[in-house]
Structure 1
Amino acid sequence: MPCLLGIDNGLTVTKAVVFDETGTPLAVARRRVPQIIPRARHIERDMNGLWRATAEAISEAIALSGRSASDIAAVAATAHGDGLYLVDFERKPLGHGMLSLDSRAGDMAAAWEKDGTSAAALSRTGQVPHASAPSALLAWIRDHEPERFARIGHVLACKDWLRFCLTGTIGTDLTEASTSFTDVKNQNYSADILPLFGLNALHAALPPIARPDEIVGKVTAEAAALTGLVAGTPVVAGLHDVTASALGSGGYGEGVVAIVAGTYSINETVSASPKVDARWFCRNGLRTGEWNNMSISPASAANYDWFLDKLCGIERRSADAEGRSIHAVVAPEIEAALARPSTLLFHPYLFGSPHGPLASAGFLGLRGWHDRGDMLRAVIEGIAFNHRVHVDALREGFDPHEARLTGGISRNPVFAQIFADALGLPVTVTETEEAAAWGVALCAGTGVGLFASPRHDPRDLAGLGRTYEPHADRSAKLEERYRLHCDIAQSLAPLWPRIEALATENDLRTAPAE
């Protein structure tokens, strides 16, 4: 029986997952990839270090799978979208890769909003450029690092860099290509788009576009030596991890909103025609003639993880030492908090927001009698409310009637029910381990003829899912809290810049590289 290798690179961890052809994961291996933060708003990583860590994960996954590397029929990678991974004309890394958490180009995006560039970009590309968009980051490099800009040979995304390391070929896929520079209507590069951003010099640097399931190369002898893969194993183009997660969880399609509660609040639905709105990215789907409409902000479960790290640190270390889950430790506190009324609200903007880069997180309604459980409840509800901001936008545009939820917190039934109640939608959590890796493995399998298309998932998706129906009384109570959540955010909009101004460039703490 053939196997498939799916590589999933996130913002802190790179994973390799070996699946059999039925979608059962045989082995998972992970490596942490340190973030490099040389100064405020610069979130980077070493590109060669990323490849070494990924190669180690692949080697370990093959060893753990109990299968021969020769059984792996095809390979594909997915990774965080947006950000920037540059190589020079000799195809060597041109500085560090920039993660999608990087916000150095926030001023550029803000200037484009004022001068009309953003409106023009929305019309032509289907999206408003944001701080970590390739367009904004490239314009920042042009203005602040002109020598580096002049040496750009190829503009890649994270998973495209991993593909290059595996195969030695340069290129991207349909989904990733649409992050900045494709025409929203014809879904291909257009000569008038780079000039919108003053990036005319980079026409030759944009990578060729392939279908996500198209074979684009084979594992080289050098890559085989590092990974344990067999030289000559086919590699397909892969796809953006947002789309990969929806595909792997069974949520890619019209009428369904796929939700990923991770570092980012990701909410997406598919359409058969392009519909442009500033509240979502209208990007390419798996095929030409399909569009994936994504409403996104960096404001989701990372806020919960931050709380556990910062305010439950002793318990977390103790739980880790004893082989217990910190989530199980705090669960009784959260459930007790849900059983009593609370004035406490939280805006989950520790790492970003739907309201621009200057919005910041905060608790409101905090009283001396509140405890940690009340605060955790507020964090979880705040995360669900932020997803609803995006889901409501998609409901106006596309009218999805159900939701598919994935991400670490989706495994907690209490959290999944909060999402259903907050959204007022049936929410299905599919028991899919490593959804993004399986999504890209579906593309790999399609490329070598194991599946008719990436949407022909061989698993019984109905049998794998648990659906949470919204409870009318809880939904009504959360509706009131949600409206207040939104009203407060609107009221704070003129104050966030003033709060941010309290820290000058000299005052901002420079985080050490890890």
Structure 2
Amino acid sequence: MPLLLGIDNGLTVTKAVIFDETGQPISIARRRVAQSMPRPRHVERDMDDLWTQTAAAIAEAIANCPRPASEILAVAATAHGDGVYLLDERRRPLGPGILSLDSRAAEIAAHWDTDGTADTALQRTGQTPHASAPSALLAWIRDHDPQRFSRIAHVLACKDWLRFCLTGEIATDLTEASTSFTDVETQVFAKDILPIFGLAQLEGALPPILNPSDIAGYVTPHAAQATGLVAGTPVAAGLHDVTASSLGAGGYGHGRIAIVAGTYSINETVSAAPHTDKRWFCRNGLSRGEWNNMSISPASAANYDWFLDTFCQTDKHAAEAAGRSLHVDIIPEIQQAMAQPSTAIFHPFLFGSPMGADASAAFFGLRGWQDRGQALRAVIEGIAFNHRIHVDALREGFAPDSAVLTGGISRSPLFSQIFADVLQIPVEVTDTDEAAAWGAALCAGVAAGIFTDCADEPRDLKQLTKTYIPDPTRSARLDRRYEIFLDLAKVLEPIWPRIEALGGEKQ
């Protein structure tokens, strides 16, 4: 039985997962990749270290695999979208990679909203530029680091850098190409788009576009030595991790919304024609003639992780010492809080929001007699409320009738039921621990000739899927809380910039 390697690089961890052709993971290895935040709103990481850690993860996965690396027929990578990873003419990193959490270009994106650039971009590319879009980040580098800008020879996404390290070949894929510079109708780069953002001189720096399952190159001897892979192993082009996650979880397709609750609130649905709107990105799907409509914001499960890391460290260490997960102890607290009335509401805007870069997180309605469970309930509900903002937009545009939820939160039946009740739509959860890596591996499987196309899922998804049906009583109660959630945001809209300005005051 042949093997496939899927590489999944997130914002803090890079993973290598070896699957057999039935989709069963048989070896997994992880490495942390350090972030640096040299200044407010700057979120970066060293590109060489990213490759070093990814190569180490691959080597560990191969070393722990009960079968030899020669049985890995193909490799594909997925990674966070947006941000930029730049190379000079020698094909060496041109400074650190910029992550999708970076918001240094927020003022540029805001200016484009007022001067007509954003409207033009939406019409031509299918999306409004935002703070971490390649268009905005490259414009920031042009304005603030012109020497670096003048040396840009190749503009890549994260997974494209990793694939380059494996193969020595420059390319991107259909899904990743559409983050800023493709024509929404033709789905390829167009000469008139870079000038929209004042970036005309970068035309030669955009990489060739491949289909996600096309062979982009082969593992070089140097990469083979670093990873343990066999030199000459085919490497597929791969895909954006948002698309990979929905594909791997069985949520990619027409008539449904794929929801990824991770660092970002990701909500997407597929269409057979481009349909543009400021509320979502109309990006390329897995193949030409298919579009993936993504409504997203950096405001999801990372808020829950922040709460546990910030306020529950003692309990976390105690649970780990006892061989348990903190979640085992926390869930009953939240269940108890759910059974009681609560005034607590939380805006999950620690890292960003759908309301702009100035919006910040906050608790409202807290009382002295409320406990940690009530606060955590508010956090989880706030995360689901934020997803609903995006899901409601997609429902209006595409009328999907079901949703598929993935991400760490989906492992909790309580949290999955909250999503169903908040969204008022059946929510399916597929038993897939490494959805994004499996989505990449499916592309590798097509490149290797094992599967006919990327959606050629070998698993019996019906056996792996549990469906959560909305409870009408709970949905009505949560609907009232959601209205207050939105009203608070509306009231705070003129105040958020004033709050943000406090961060720039000298002490």
Q: Give TM-score scaled by structure 1 length.
A: 0.98
C-alpha deviation, 1:322, in angstroms: 2.3
Residue of structure 2 equivalent to 1:48: 48
C-alpha deviation, 1:226, in angstroms: 0.3
Residue of structure 2 equivalent to 1:230: 230
Q: Note if 1:403 corresponds to 2:403.
A: yes
Residue of structure 1 equivalent to 2:69: 69
Residue of structure 2 equivalent to 1:317: 317
Partners of 2:323 and 2:14 in 1: CA distance: 23
Partners of 1:132 and 1:367 in 2: CA distance: 37
Residue of structure 2 equivalent to 1:288: 288
Moved more, 138-147 or 56-65: 56-65
C-alpha deviation, 1:505, in angstroms: 6.3
Q: Note if 1:169 corresponds to 2:169.
A: yes
Check the 8 A contact 1:83/1:137 in 2, yes or no. yes
Residue of structure 2 equivalent to 1:120: 120
Residue of structure 2 equivalent to 1:135: 135
C-alpha deviation, 1:506, in angstroms: 4.9
Match of 2:170, SS state, is: coil
Q: Note if 1:433 corresponds to 2:433.
A: yes
Which amino acid in 2 is paired with 1:104?
R
Residue of structure 1 equivalent to 2:386: 386
C-alpha deviation, 1:112, in angstroms: 0.5
Match of 2:327, SS state, is: helix
Residue of structure 2 equivalent to 1:414: 414
Match of 2:149, SS state, is: helix
Which amino acid in 1 is paired with 2:461?
L
Check the 8 A contact 1:218/1:235 in 2, yes or no. yes
C-alpha deviation, 1:228, in angstroms: 0.1
Match of 1:341, SS state, is: coil
Q: What are the residue-to-residue correspondences of 1:77-156 with 2, within 5 Å?
A: 77-156=77-156
* Unpaired stretches in structure 1, ≥5 consecutive residues: 508-514
**1:129-150 CA deviation, whole Å, 9 max, x = no partner?**
0000000000000000000000
Residue of structure 1 equivalent to 2:249: 249
Check the 8 A contact 1:25/1:433 in 2, yes or no. no
C-alpha deviation, 1:317, in angstroms: 1.5
Match of 1:230, SS state, is: coil
Q: What are the residue-to-residue correspondences of 1:161-240 with 2, within 5 Å?
A: 161-240=161-240
**1:137-188 CA deviation, whole Å, 9 max, x = no partner?**
0000000000000000100000000000000000100000000000000000
Q: Note if 1:490 corresponds to 2:493.
A: no
Match of 1:381, SS state, is: helix
Partners of 2:506 and 2:48 in 1: CA distance: 31
C-alpha deviation, 1:319, in angstroms: 1.4
Partners of 2:475 and 2:399 in 1: CA distance: 19
Check the 8 A contact 1:273/1:290 in 2, yes or no. yes
Q: Note if 1:159 corresponds to 2:159.
A: yes
Residue of structure 2 equivalent to 1:348: 348
Check the 8 A contact 1:211/1:286 in 2, yes or no. yes
Check the 8 A contact 1:272/1:291 in 2, yes or no. yes
C-alpha deviation, 1:49, in angstroms: 0.1
Residue of structure 2 equivalent to 1:512: none
Residue of structure 1 equivalent to 2:454: 454
Which amino acid in 2 is paired with 1:400?
P
Partners of 1:332 and 1:236 in 2: CA distance: 44
Q: 1:218 to 1:486 in 2, by over 3 A?
A: same
Partners of 1:505 and 1:147 in 2: CA distance: 30
**1:297-324 CA deviation, whole Å, 9 max, x = no partner?**
0000000000001111110122122221
* Unpaired stretches in structure 2, ≥5 consecutive residues: none
Check the 8 A contact 1:70/1:230 in 2, yes or no. yes
Which amino acid in 1 is paired with 2:16?
A
Partners of 2:218 and 2:180 in 1: CA distance: 28
- RMSD over aligned CA atoms reads 0.7
Partners of 2:501 and 2:216 in 1: CA distance: 48
Instruction: Report sequence identity in percent.
Output: 69
Q: Note if 1:360 corresponds to 2:360.
A: yes
Partners of 2:233 and 2:171 in 1: CA distance: 18
Partners of 1:192 and 1:487 in 2: CA distance: 40
Match of 2:81, SS state, is: coil
Moved more, 195-204 or 484-493: 484-493
Match of 1:501, SS state, is: helix
Match of 2:253, SS state, is: coil
C-alpha deviation, 1:491, in angstroms: 1.2
Partners of 1:302 and 1:503 in 2: CA distance: 22
